[in-house]
Amino acid sequence: MKRTLILLSIMLVAIATVAQPPARIRQQAKNGDAAERTAPAVPVVKTTASAAAKKNAASSVTATSSRAALEFPTQGAMPEDVAWRRDVYKVLDLSSDRNAVLYFPEEPTGDKMNLFTYLFKLVMRKQVKAYEYTIDGNENLTAKNVMQPKEMLTRFEINYETNDEGKLRVDNSDIPSAQVKSYYIKESTYYDQNTAQFHTQVTALCPVRRGIDEFGEEEAPTPLFWLDYSEISPYLAKIVLMNSNYNNAAQISADDYFTTNQYEGKIYKTVNLQGRVLQNYCETDSALKAEQTRIEKEITTLQDHVWGKDSSKMKKDTLQAETANEEKTVTKKSSKKGKEEKVSESNSSRAQVKRERSAGSGRSSSQPKFSARRQRH
């Protein structure tokens, strides 16, 4: 009887277990139908072909930039919470020996091209964005300030062709790379309190064109467009530049060239409250040069102030200290040596007196000596 009751109990438990999931499924379906009846209708948005194409193009550019950044890592971005920062604008004259690496070759030869040709091709392929150079000269790296390739070609009168698919094509001979003889850069020097280090970093770059007029003379410099350095730096790591006039095998990437600050630039503007350019208040060339020197000295003086004495003065003080220590050591040794000589001289004179006394008394130094002590009676 007991066995029968146990078997019945097991069967009832099994039946309840098997029947429970279908009941739950029916309940969930019932709840789902009710939710569908009460949910508001969602409008269906039809995407046009042009909007879809723009979205795909933007996503492809973003994917390309991200992939380039992963394949060619560059220096980290400047922290937003730095304790101190000084932003200056410099002009790089490509006729200078240190900057000529960015200019040659003037026209592409094989796989070799100069910096502007490389950047121009990146802009035309929409791999990087070119930002319009505004009248105030400040970089405005926002989406509303992005220049389209066709607009850029029309504005700067660069010849181009359009194929059947609507793509733009510019021949290498029509790229004005030989006319770009200088660059504007924005340079940020900042103190990172997290690492207790000073860094100098290029944040924006602008090629400057100087065309030839109909009389064969150079025109006024024309800034073309601003480029965000953080966007172009992964691509600059790919282009290799010749870095020496004497050793043609010495090469350096464009990103390393800017990251290690191997360029030579002159300050023409600072970020200030009045938004003034140096030429606005420097009337002569000597005054301009003096102002440039003063601004550069301000930056180096702050670095020396943070670290204490500058390296040259520390080295001088160290040499003076070492010289003083050497003089003290020599003086100490000489005085010690003189003392030793005096002691040895006195010892020799005492030995000579003893020998004379021994000879006069007829005793040898080997004979035993006796001492008489007074005895108490």
What is the DSSP code string of 272-284?
-TT--BHHHH--S
Cα distance between residue 295 and residue 282, in whole Å: 13
Per-residue pLDDT for 239 more than 80? yes
Kindly report, residue by residue over 163-174, the tens digit of the pLDDT.
888 899 999 999
- Identify the band that residue 189 occupies on the pLDDT scale cut at 50, 70 and 90: very high
More confident position, 77 or 102: 102
| Whole-number Å distance between alpha carbons of 59 and 259 | 28
**Per-residue pLDDT at 302 exceeds 60:** yes
Report pLDDT for 314: 47
| E strand or H helix at 85 | strand 84-93
**pLDDT, greater one: 210 or 46:** 210
Pick from 316, 271, 287, 297: nearest CA to 86: 271
In this predicted structure, what is the pLDDT of residue 1? 61
* Domain residue ranges in the chain: 75-310
Average pLDDT over residues 209-224: 89
Given a cut of 80, whether residue 267 has pLDDT beyond it is yes
Residue 139 has pLDDT above 60, yes or no: yes
Q: Examine the pLDDT at 66 and tell me if it is beyond 70.
A: no
Identify the pLDDT of residue 2: 62
Cβ partners under 8 Å of residue 198, min gap 6: 189, 190, 191, 192, 303, 306
CB 176 within 8 A of CB 156: yes
pLDDT band at residue 249 using 50, 70 and 90 as cut-offs: confident
For 99-138, how does the pLDDT look when each residue is reduced to its tens digit (9 = 90+)?
A: 999 999 998 888 899 999 999 999 999 999 999 999 999 9
Residue 3: per-residue pLDDT: 67
Distances from the Cα of 114 to the Cαs of 120, 236, 288, in angstroms? 10, 11, 31
pLDDT tier for residue 214 given thresholds of 50, 70 and 90: confident
pLDDT of 357 higher than 80: no
Residues across the chain: 377
Residue 375, pLDDT score: 45
Average pLDDT over the chain, rounded to an integer: 77
Report cis status (omega within 30 of 0) of the bond before 149.
Answer: no
- Residues 187, 201: contact at Cβ < 8 Å? yes
Nearest CA among 50, 175, 57 for reference residue 105: 175
Q: Identify which of 138, 254, 152, 145 has the alpha carbon closest to the alpha carbon of residue 204.
A: 138
> With DSSP H G I counted as helix, E B as strand and the rest as coil, what are the percentages for the chain, rounded to 5?
45, 20, 35
In percent, the amount of the chain with pLDDT more than 90 equals: 46
Q: What's the rounded mean pLDDT across residues 201-213?
A: 93
pLDDT band at 246 (very low <50, low <70, confident <90, very high): confident
Q: How far apart are alpha carbons 305 and 313 in whole angstroms?
A: 13
Q: CA-CA distances (angstroms) from residue 182 to 92, 95, 113, 178, 256? A: 5, 8, 16, 10, 19
- The pLDDT value recorded for residue 67 is 59
Query: Can you give the pLDDT at residue 266?
Result: 97
The predicted structure's pLDDT at residue 376: 45
Query: Which one has a higher pLDDT value, 76 or 65?
Result: 76
pLDDT for residue 256 is more than 60: yes
C-alpha distances in Å from residue 171, one per residue of 159, 176, 177: 8, 10, 12
User: pTM score, two decimals?
Assistant: 0.65
Q: Is 361's pLDDT higher than 90?
A: no
Of residues 327 and 374, which shows the higher confidence score? 327
In whole angstroms, what is the distance from residue 235 CA to residue 146 CA? 19
**pLDDT, position 320:** 62
- Cβ 218 vs Cβ 212: under 8 Å: yes
268 touches 90 (CB < 8 A): yes
- 90 pairs with which residues across the strands? 185, 267
For residue 365, what pLDDT is reported? 44
Could you report the per-residue pLDDT of 4-58, keeping only the tens digit for each?
A: 666 666 666 555 554 444 545 555 555 555 444 444 443 433 334 444 544 454 4
194 near 186, Cβ under 8 Å? Answer: no
User: Which pLDDT score, from 0 to 100, does residue 12 have?
Assistant: 62
